[in-house]
Amino acid sequence: MATITGGAAVRIIPSATRATVSVSSSSRSFFSFSSSSNSVSSLNCLRLSPRISHLFLDQRRSEVRVSSGRFGTVSTPKAFASDPDQLKSAREDIKELLKTKFCHPLLIRLGWHDAGTYNKNIEEFPQRGGANGSLRFEAELKHGANAGLVNALKLLQPIKDKYSGVTYADLFQLAGATAVEEAGGPKIPMKYGRVDVTGPEQCPEEGRLPDAGPPSPADHLRQVFYRMGLNDKEIVALSGAHTLGRSRPDRSGWGKPETKYTKDGPGAPGGQSWTAQWLKFDNSYFKDIKEKKDEDLLVLPTDAALFDDPSFKVYAEKYAEDQEAFFKDYAEAHAKLSNLGAKFDPPEGIVLDGSPNAVGEKFVAANYSSGKE
């Protein structure tokens, strides 16, 4: 707590710790879609940047005590985990970032990987994992499934520096939801106010995220997602986000080095996409898996399982035929995933008003990834 005299308020400078990070390039994660950002195999280069040097800061908040002089000393109410106005401003900056970097898939993957470590059988925070900002630390970033996500952090760090009143946990989920909407997807019914973990010792152990090519794909998906408290419908709906992005063999071990759909970018060329327009959010993922007509489109074992498993197939077939149904179920599942394991302050969360679906330019990125000559 800080005491301020003379009626003026000041910002409390948080204490900080730093860490250097080495990131594996051998990820085999189910959530292996990537974006157009250049691959970075380690964080050593980030140490040279004054802006990025704050990547792993331990952000803490302090209550400020104000003295008005005439009326004596009073305490201001404790701030929420994130400032609502700063959240709105950060969302606009994320939209601008997406227009220039085409990093929609990468930001979605960042949010999913932060939340996807949740274990419903553990009650304590933050041991239970989930959307708590732990993915900013070396201990978690170096997990094989998180290879390449340093690029997402590098892109978002200037926004975090600009809006220090937004937690990492909220920023990661805000970025993912905004990316879906800006790519033409449904509006996600999000709430904010997630509390950050404070140190790398609070990161979950490796192995909580799903693999892309397990021996029994359907069983593996259920084992991992049931642990999070998700069901078959939600597993299939969330899988539909692979309509965005590419898999790069140097990161995930899956996919071709490049295809006719990815050889010209946007951004860094290469990788293999699940769909022809890999920066447009629609139900093409389900249609393309069902048809299996294009060898340049990726189908992972966990993708094929959606049509091979009887229970999954009911939803996959439905989404292939009905994009509106897919959007509805996806939006609900995405919001649920983004809340897993989170500790909210205020407890009911913060809802941002006036956040309609993106219009106008939301398909611009898709035009670059159509595969047309």
Query: What does the block give as tokens for 323?
Result: 């994009």
Name the active-site residue from 113, 143, 242, 334: 113
| Beta-ladder partners of 4 | 66
Nearest to 241 by CA among 191, 196, 177, 194: 177
Query: What does the block give as tokens for 21?
Result: 């990070």
Nearest to 150 by CA among 250, 246, 265, 55: 55
Nearest to 361 by CA among 101, 31, 95: 95
Phi-psi region for residue 72, left (φ > 0), alpha (ψ -120 to 50) or beta? left
Find where tokens 């892109």 sit.
Answer: 155
**CB atoms inside a 10 Å sphere around CB 231:** 14
Burial of residue 19 (number of CB atoms within 10 Å: 0-12, 13-18, 19+): middle
Torsions phi, psi of 55, nearest 5? Answer: -55, -40
Whether 334 is catalytic is: no
Alpha carbons 201 and 187: distance in angstroms, whole number = 35
Alpha carbons 232 and 178: distance in angstroms, whole number = 25
105 and 152 Cβ atoms separated by less than 8 Å? no
Torsions phi, psi of 66, nearest 5? Answer: -115, 135
Torsions phi, psi of 27, nearest 5? Answer: -65, 140
Catalytic residues: 113
